[in-house]
Structure 1
């Protein structure tokens, strides 16, 4: 709003309220819109910061009785002038504009020759004085609203972190994905897919832990991706070669995952913890060795 005159901005439309709105409705509308464009929430968006400033100025003016009265007077006069202008034809409108220019020139001349106190102030000048008063005095209500908003953002952030910490860990060894495509038994090209080509399609979604081609049945493979997000994106978006599309399906869908075990602190790490880690790594390696056997079993049941 730094580059705009307040008389050119409809503060009620900015907040999405009517001109008859009560103070409680004004504050509610401000919270709803300002929360989305708060600078803390959009640190790299200068437009969001400007919008937040505009909304704050609207709250400040419309919740002050005197400032709001001055603003309403300017706003109503502007709307009435716009309505009159629409009703004038082009010739009369030109005459009207010339008359207004002469009136402004005469007023300026009068102000230059007389003490300012003897000249009647325009509605916009009265509004500007009110805005300057608010700037000097500060708005306690605006400070309260912005403090409450910062507290709300902080609570939202803490809740999101808590939800992330409580979210169940994704065990990639338990949730592999089958891959199918068309390939005849006698097709030496395996439908146009090699392990390297499949890897190119899959690795852009995240780390590929293991990828195994079925050497006995053409057009079959199995992949283990490290993260749930990578799995979801592959299932949703990857099609491979359009002339021979890939089809993906969970071997075991991650319907109910168990929460991850609490991590031990460095001070509590013992030889038992280390042994558990080694055994877990060995079990994972053994699981990957059984990957082909599991895939064969799944294919045999199709």
Structure 2
């Protein structure tokens, strides 16, 4: 980043631009950025020529204030300015005029003083580093803003909001096992002497999982390193995070359900058919013929039992059950080949569709 651009940042009140004080945390800074960015995003203000400039300034403020080194350099310069303003306020009008004239001449003669030059250079280096790294946090926040704007547009067009997902879950029978808010347990490798906690801070985990939905709480265990519990607002967000998130490539996450895991209720289809007290596995049922008569529709099923065949022996029959379902009079009967006990007259196996 050029020196002129860094000096332009020094003339801006980054905290005032986001509407926060100098002690704001990274989480509060990101929250303020989202609120401001939504109101002045160029996509939502196509007729406002200043919207793009203001959105760019908000992005610069987020870049500097969410990076500890860049923020420290900016705070140092701001503190020096405040101290100078405090000293000026103590001077009377005459002495103040003399001092301002003297400082104006000193600035012209010593435009590149050692301390000012070093502070400006430090800020330039930090901002340049952010640009080289692609400013992942800024890109992530802007992506979330665009997604939220897209969701608002879809809600206005379809008037459905989040009802589609709820209806789909109801159709599939997916629901939480209880009324508690869904929680996931995160684990990762972390040595005792690692001050970075394996690369997973509270703010980083919050930002990492917020892309799946609203995160209510992130609790990092103090007793057991490399462990955290994340509470989501919806089951959908927790389920997406559980299925898709893997964490850092160098130190992946192990994610498991702690509370509120959804379950899918599937209908149980009985595989047993019972007729007249007899048990017949459904795989033995073979639909042979369906025809329409003047009085009723009759469907025939053959149930073949595995037994030695005695076909051809006089006076004997091969054990061959035939199930006749007479839809006309709602009667069901079992008969041996050639014999029927239903209201119809006795018929041969061929008449019933038997072998």
Taking structure 2 as the reference length, the TM-score comes to: 0.40
Larger of the two Rg values belongs to structure? 2
Normalized per residue, which structure has more strand? 2
Asked which structure has the greater RCO (Cα within 8 Å, sep 6+), the reply is 1
Normalized per residue, which structure has more helix? 1
